[in-house]
Chain A
Amino acid sequence: MSDRALSSTKVLDLTHHISGPYATKMLADMGADVIKVERPGSGDPCRALGPFLGDDPHPDKSLPFLYLNTSKRGITLNLKSSDGQSVLRELVKWADLVMVNFAPATLETLGLTYDSLKTINPNLVMVAITNFGLVGPYRDYKASDLVEYALSGLMYIFGSYDREPIAHALHQAQFRAGTVAAGASLIALYGAKIGGQKSTGNLVDVSIMEVMAAALRDTFSQYTYQGIVRRRSPRFGMVLGRSVSTSDGYLIPTMIGAGTDWEIFAEFLGAPELKDERFATQEDRIRNARELDEVLRRRFAEHRKLELFHLAHAWRFHFGVVLTPREVTESDQLDHRGFFVEVEHPVAGRLQYPGASAIYSETPWQTSRPAPALGQHNSEVLGGMLGYSKDDLVLLRRAGAI
């Protein structure tokens, strides 16, 4: 295999579900050697997460699991057994980076604290993803994506003014925490290896609540600068910058773009009634938002979404178009980037997955192998890499350690 961006990086992946596995997938797809550790028996709970290929809840047919664990090798290890702990110590010695996403109390129970791991490997970088961070009054609180949206401040402003607030569907908070953890782990590795920082300062504490709250930054400034308490979408004036119906779906019209003004916008939309003095300035448009919305809604309903989307960009208005997941898979732009990639898996077969978020000129993103079956690389890693004998492996298995 050619030289990859992270070829020389050895990662011990003690994560499960979504956030940690996405972080280590990012590392693995860029060439890091990632060893994923699952508990013997049931494995990563993500194996039970749908949707499944053919709606068959088989542990090797969870589509999120297959997607999140490409390019990794997989072993099983019972972290609660003493034999498992001694294998773990060997792996910690081997690794440059260990990634965890257990709850803080579980980390302590399992002995997975930075203080204890650094005595095994003083150069280790440890990245911990937790719901609320390793310290603080909410440390042991429980959370889901929904709860993280609520406590970060995003939920309260998300939705319609007079309705209950909402959150994005899917698992956005966990995926974003994984993305952030992947970036932070490389900052720590860079500091330790190139910045010459050496053995101290290599613990990274990623709190999902703070990943979310960091993106609410301008709402905090609205309070600190103006005393404003934000709420959800206003009742009126919701057309520009938000969604509007067309004859066949939804557009996100905006006024943003090169050298645009209200008159040009009216011409582009073929709506001379927008040149009325009630809509002349930004303040007029806020004051007369209800009337403005009526005009805009009527006009947009005359168009088809993709036609008007492309026309808007020809006028250099930065419009958006609401695509369905099917339309995403059929997008000519993503196709041009070769975004969807095929991976052959021994059980799930040949499937397409989302691929590279970025195209690199020197070190291309690529999947080097499909997601591992449970314990697939036990003998390769424990036997080949760590030097355990065949007899040792039999004993470890009998003891329930692997």
Chain B
Amino acid sequence: MPLPLEGVRVIEMGQLLAVPYLCKLMADMGAEIVRFESLTRLDPHRTSVFYENVAEEDFYNKAANFHDQNRNKLGFTLDLDAKGGQRLFQALVAISDVFCENFTPRVMNNFKMEYDDLRKIRPDIIMLSSTGYGYSGPWGNYGAVGPTVEASSGLIHVSGYQNAPPVLAEIPYTDFVGAEHGLFAVMSALLYRARTGKGQFIDLSQQASQVAIAPEPVLDYLANGRETPSGGSQDHSTMAPYGIFPCHAEKEEGLVGEVDRWIAISISTNEEWLGLCRAMGNPAWATASAYSDELSRWRHRQELNRRIAEWTQAQEAMPLMERLQAEGVAAGVALTNKDVLFNKHLRERGFFRVIHHQDVTRMPPIPYAGLPWRFPEAPLPPDRVAATLGEHNRYVIAEMLGWPESELKTLEKEGAIGWKPISYPRPRPVGVDVLLAQSRIAGYDLSYKERIAREYGL
């Protein structure tokens, strides 16, 4: 059965996250993604987190995030500074439906890759520009990364601990928010083009995307002039009890380091409160009038949370969650990255997707994060592994564009394409023992390879 996006060809010019993640979602659903990279300015995703934490000579083909993000895409190199680079890019535009990029307007203008340049070549092209703050305006040329946009959206100010500096999510959070809005934008434009034959330019702002999904404090200010206080992560405006409670931490076998254990519990109805009381064994204190209805519980939430914490801290987290859920209580263990990888629910749903690496990388099959959706009636075929640097140069030039073989040599001589990064220093990964000694991680597993192979039957 054909995949929904078969027949859609996308040129991807993106580094790090937002656009590559958006294109990963489209690639998995059948779009043909021609991703091009520079040989002189390597994608930072090629330069960190290597298999077994060793940066070998071909490190750029063995980086974790690169493999995660570029499965099912064609890998192509293209240096726009080089002679012939522009000619190649324009030829690609002429045969593509969508061009997605996440550079600043300054860069796009320098390389004559703005929408007006593109539509002279392909009048119905759809172009998505994904930037931190938008394609124009006083902040238009300001570069951005996830944490900086998370900060400028207002989300971080209202989140965090009380009376403490703002805390960021530890993942490039707004890159995902931008990519998710970008996917919607590109799909809207594709549907419009299918109906009318017209392309368009989409100027996506990650900041605007994030404000759009964190509207409550902004709406409150605009309508009521009220300023939401900072540090609001630990409290909820209606739910009580509500919080993250300590659990008993067991020493994990094979782990160097220590994992502390926490469970999130949130109660929104009387029924759920009674369920929590049952799970606690209906202690006498819980029947006090201070906790008899939703409003009273919310008023006395601090002492309520304290009492619950006293109860949870002697319990083991996972059995506690199962017991609470069986009583109809919304509860979830704060799972580690390792826990999620082996989580039975995600395993049964096939969330993680095992990818078989090419022999040249000398890497075993590895599970990677899957998609945020499932099309249960249309199962996906096995994934194609991310391309090594320049792997599809020949395919793109000879097969896709139909240029003669001699062009390959010319373009390589001109420095427009290649198969190895140019004068790029080999990275020096920091040892996991150093990371642990500096409290940058919880720990490391000595037998992770065996564990993964066993759990995933590899």
**B170 to A195, Cβ gap below 8 A?**
no
List, in ascending order, chain A residues with CB within 8 A of B223's CB: 51, 53-54, 63, 351-352
List, in ascending order, chain A residues with CB within 8 A of B367's CB: 220, 224
A181 to chain B, nearest CB (A): 8
List, in ascending order, chain A residues with CB within 8 A of B259's CB: 229, 231
A318 within 8 A of B: yes
How distant is the Cα of A287 from the Cα of B433 in the complex, in angstroms? Answer: 12
Query: Among the listed A5, A214, A222, which residue makes an inter-chain contact with B188, where contact means beta carbons less than 8 Å apart?
Result: A5
Which A-chain residue is minimally distant from B44 (CB atoms)? A256
**B148 to A254, Cβ gap below 8 A?**
yes
Query: For chain A residues 279-302, which have a beta carbon within 8 Å of chain B?
Result: 282-283, 286-287, 289
List, in ascending order, chain A residues with CB within 8 A of B341's CB: 220, 223-224
**B171 to A356, Cβ gap below 8 A?**
no
Query: With A3-B196, A191-B3, A217-B369 in contact, is A138–B345 under 8 Å at CB?
Result: yes
Query: Among the listed A176, A232, A318, which residue makes an inter-chain contact with B144, where contact means beta carbons less than 8 Å apart?
Result: A318
Query: With A228-B432, A320-B144 in contact, is A357–B212 under 8 Å at CB?
Result: yes
**A322 to B151, Cβ gap below 8 A?**
yes
A88 within 8 A of B: no
**A136 to B64, Cβ gap below 8 A?**
no
Which A-chain residue is minimally distant from B343 (CB atoms)? A151
Query: For chain A residues 219-277, which have a beta carbon within 8 Å of chain B?
Result: 219-237, 241-245, 250, 252, 254, 256-258
Most buried by A among B141, B153, B167, B184: B184
Query: Among the listed A133, A158, A169, A331, which residue makes an inter-chain contact with B170, where contact means beta carbons less than 8 Å apart?
Result: A158
Query: Among the listed B169, B208, B264, B434, which residue makes an inter-chain contact with A287, where contact means beta carbons less than 8 Å apart?
Result: B434
Query: Among the listed B29, B171, B202, which residue makes an inter-chain contact with A358, where contact means beta carbons less than 8 Å apart?
Result: B202
A120 within 8 A of B: no
**B374 to A204, Cβ gap below 8 A?**
yes
**A227 to B444, Cβ gap below 8 A?**
yes
List, in ascending order, chain B residues with CB within 8 A of A256's CB: 143, 145
Query: With A211-B372, A217-B68 in contact, is A64–B216 under 8 Å at CB?
Result: yes
Query: With A231-B441, A329-B221 in contact, is A313–B142 under 8 Å at CB?
Result: yes
List, in ascending order, chain B residues with CB within 8 A of A347's CB: none
How distant is the Cα of A230 from the Cα of B194 in the complex, in angstroms? Answer: 45
**B180 to A203, Cβ gap below 8 A?**
no
A186 within 8 A of B: yes
List, in ascending order, chain A residues with CB within 8 A of B169's CB: 154, 158, 168
Q: 1/0 per position for A186-219, CB-CB distance to B under 8 A?
A: 1111111111110011111111011101111111
B70 to chain A, nearest CB (A): 12
**A147 to B213, Cβ gap below 8 A?**
no
How distant is the Cα of A6 from the Cα of B18 in the complex, in angstroms? Answer: 24
**Number of chain A interface residues as a range:** 35 or more
Q: 1/0 per position for A126-162, CB-CB distance to B under 8 A?
A: 0000001111111001111011111111111111110
**A230 to B49, Cβ gap below 8 A?**
no
B338 to chain A, nearest CB (A): 5
Q: 1/0 per position for B235-266, CB-CB distance to A under 8 A?
A: 01111001110100000000101010011111
A323 to chain B, nearest CB (A): 5
B106 to chain A, nearest CB (A): 9
**B180 to A183, Cβ gap below 8 A?**
yes
Q: 1/0 per position for A336-375, CB-CB distance to B under 8 A?
A: 1101100000000001111111111111000000000000
B90 within 8 A of A: no
Query: With A321-B152, A333-B139, A361-B115 in contact, is A144–B147 under 8 Å at CB?
Result: no
How distant is the Cα of A26 from the Cα of B195 in the complex, in angstroms? Answer: 19
Q: 1/0 per position for B265-296, CB-CB distance to A under 8 A?
A: 11010001000000000000000000000000
Query: For chain A residues 380-395, which have a beta carbon within 8 Å of chain B?
Result: none
Q: Which of B79-87, B324-332, B381-389, B399-407 contacts A (4 or more CB under 8 A)?
A: B324-332
**A205 to B373, Cβ gap below 8 A?**
yes
List, in ascending order, chain A residues with CB within 8 A of B192's CB: 5-6, 362-363
B31 to chain A, nearest CB (A): 9
**A363 to B200, Cβ gap below 8 A?**
yes
**A197 to B173, Cβ gap below 8 A?**
no
**A325 to B188, Cβ gap below 8 A?**
no
**A217 to B173, Cβ gap below 8 A?**
no
B336 within 8 A of A: yes
A401 within 8 A of B: no
How distant is the Cα of A133 from the Cα of B371 in the complex, in angstroms? Answer: 12
List, in ascending order, chain A residues with CB within 8 A of B190's CB: 186, 190, 194
B138 within 8 A of A: yes
B123 within 8 A of A: no
How distant is the Cα of A90 from the Cα of B215 in the complex, in angstroms? Answer: 35
List, in ascending order, chain B residues with CB within 8 A of A326's CB: 221, 227
**A250 to B151, Cβ gap below 8 A?**
yes
List, in ascending order, chain B residues with CB within 8 A of A175's CB: 213-214
How distant is the Cα of A161 from the Cα of B259 in the complex, in angstroms? Answer: 11
**A141 to B325, Cβ gap below 8 A?**
yes
B254 to chain A, nearest CB (A): 9
How distant is the Cα of A209 from the Cα of B433 in the complex, in angstroms? Answer: 32
Which B-chain residue is minimally distant from A362 (CB atoms)? B200
**A166 to B167, Cβ gap below 8 A?**
yes
How distant is the Cα of A244 from the Cα of B164 in the complex, in angstroms? Answer: 11
Query: Among the listed B139, B222, B266, which residue makes an inter-chain contact with A329, where contact means beta carbons less than 8 Å apart?
Result: B222
A276 to chain B, nearest CB (A): 19
**B165 to A245, Cβ gap below 8 A?**
yes
Query: Among the listed A166, A193, A325, which residue makes an inter-chain contact with B227, where contact means beta carbons less than 8 Å apart?
Result: A325
List, in ascending order, chain B residues with CB within 8 A of A224's CB: 64, 341, 366-368, 448, 452
A316 within 8 A of B: yes
**B219 to A353, Cβ gap below 8 A?**
yes
Query: Among the listed B1, B171, B449, which residue makes an inter-chain contact with A219, where contact means beta carbons less than 8 Å apart?
Result: B171
How distant is the Cα of A33 from the Cα of B256 in the complex, in angstroms? Answer: 56
Q: 1/0 per position for B97-140, CB-CB distance to A under 8 A?
A: 00000000000000000010000000000000000111111111
**B443 to A163, Cβ gap below 8 A?**
no
A30 within 8 A of B: yes
Query: With A230-B336, A358-B182 in contact, is A328–B325 under 8 Å at CB?
Result: no
How distant is the Cα of A323 from the Cα of B442 in the complex, in angstroms? Answer: 31
List, in ascending order, chain A residues with CB within 8 A of B167's CB: 158-160, 166, 233, 242-243
How distant is the Cα of A287 from the Cα of B148 in the complex, in angstroms? Answer: 25
Which B-chain residue is minimally distant from A32 (CB atoms)? B188
**B378 to A200, Cβ gap below 8 A?**
yes
A307 within 8 A of B: no
List, in ascending order, chain B residues with CB within 8 A of A195's CB: 2-7, 30
A315 to chain B, nearest CB (A): 11
Which B-chain residue is minimally distant from A145 (CB atoms)? B266
How distant is the Cα of A358 from the Cα of B184 in the complex, in angstroms? Answer: 10
List, in ascending order, chain B residues with CB within 8 A of A67's CB: 215, 219
List, in ascending order, chain B residues with CB within 8 A of A158's CB: 167, 169-170
A170 within 8 A of B: yes
Supply 17 further A-B pairs (C-beta < 8 A) apart from A51-B216, A157-B170, A229-B445: A51-B224, A63-B216, A146-B242, A151-B332, A152-B335, A155-B264, A157-B171, A160-B167, A161-B439, A182-B184, A223-B338, A320-B151, A336-B137, A351-B222, A353-B222, A357-B212, A359-B134
14 cross-chain CB contacts under 8 A: A138-B345, A150-B244, A150-B262, A151-B332, A156-B262, A169-B155, A221-B368, A223-B448, A225-B52, A245-B165, A250-B165, A286-B434, A334-B208, A357-B209
